[in-house]
Amino acid sequence: MGISETYAKLRQEIPKGVTIVLAAKQRSPAEVLEAINAGATDIGMNYVQEAAQLFKSLGSEAKKVRWHMIGHLQSNKINKSLSLFETFQTIDSFELAQEIDKKAAGKKVSVFIEVNIADEPAKSGAKPEFETLLELAKGISALPNLSIDGLMTMGPPVEAETLRPYFRKAKKLFDDLKRNGINLKHLSMGMSDSYKVAIEEGSNMVRLGTVVFGPRI
Ligand SMILES: *Cc1c(COP(=O)(O)O)cnc(C)c1O
């Protein structure tokens, strides 16, 4: 199956309320274009420079989709990233949120808090604790150019079933924050190997690369 057929099939299988963000790192403009023509609505990129190149190569097609920053954001790339991305999924500190807010200059930027759901020492992301997340979310809510719209999590590189309790924990944090007045819309969790379990546990946004485009080389 080619990229268009695969995307269309996934879009049929995955419930309507779940957004598919195509994780397009290392993919050629032709591959990404094929997915856009098959109906892809959202693209996720890990590096600002790579995203800028892809954006340029796609020309007017690039503006048909929403662009999400799904990699770690370096503060010296914020200016450039603001001209590309509408959504920043990997905000894990108030300082980083403040820097984006300062440079956003009247543009409303959608941000998600990245949660280090298994509290892995080597991983970025905020601590998976309700109080920590509530404080961070409230801080971000008070910044004029940012809108706090979601939580994002990666989880450790283990088998999907092993991830299930972490996904469940992320969903609980998501619900608890909403119950406490944080207007979250998106719970971004699940990748090619784990999206089915993530959706069962309440994800409404999956980030898919391999399952759409094939293995990365
Ligand atoms: C690459 C990537 C994905 C998608 O990974 P696949 O296993 O190829 O589906 C999802 N999220 C992030 C943050 C990524 O970097």
Q: In angstroms, what is the span from residue 192 Cα to ligand 1's centroid?
A: 7
pLDDT digits (tens, 9 = 90+) for 13-28: 999 999 999 999 999 9
Whether the predicted pLDDT of 91 surpasses 90? yes
Q: Is the pLDDT of residue 77 over 90?
A: yes
210 lines ligand 1 (CB under 6 A): yes
pLDDT at res. 131: 98
Does residue 1 have a pLDDT over 90? Answer: no
Residue closest via CA to ligand 1's atom 10 equals: 207
Is residue 125 lining ligand 1, measured as CB closer than 6 Å? no
CA dist 166 and 172 (Å) reads 10
Q: How far, in Å, from the CA of 181 to the mean position of ligand 1? A: 30
- The mean pLDDT of 84-89, rounded to a whole number, is 98
Q: Is the distance from the beta carbon of residue 69 to the nearest atom of ligand 1 less than 6 Å?
A: no
| Global pTM exceeds 0.95 | yes
* Cβ-based burial of 214 (10 A; exposed 0-12, middle 13-18, buried ≥19): middle
Ligand 1: residue of 50, 194, 207 to mutate (most ligand atoms within 8 A of CB) is 207
- The Cα–Cα gap between 184 and 69 comes to 18
Give strand ranges (E) for 70-117: 87-91, 109-115
Q: Find the helix or strand (DSSP H, E) in which 9 lies.
A: helix 3-13
Q: Per the structure block, which two tokens stand in for 177?
A: 């924050």
Could you write out the DSSP letters of every residue in 142-176? TSTTEEEEEEEE---SS-HHHHHHHHHHHHHHHHH
Compute the distance from residue 47 Cα to the ligand 1 centre, in Å: 12
The predicted-structure confidence for 17-75, as pLDDT tens digits, reads as follows 999 999 999 999 999 999 999 999 999 999 999 999 999 999 999 999 999 999 999 99
178 alpha carbon – ligand 1 mean position (Å): 26
Asked if residue 106 has pLDDT above 90, the reply is no
Handedness of CA 136, 121, 210, 200 (dihedral sign): negative
Tell me the CATH number of domain 3-213, given options 3.20.20.10, 3.30.450.90, 3.30.750.210, 3.30.70.141.
3.20.20.10
Write down the pLDDT at residue 100: 98
User: What is the overall mean pLDDT for the chain?
Assistant: 97
Per-domain boundaries in the chain: 3-213
Residue whose CA is closest, atom 14 of ligand 1?
A: 23
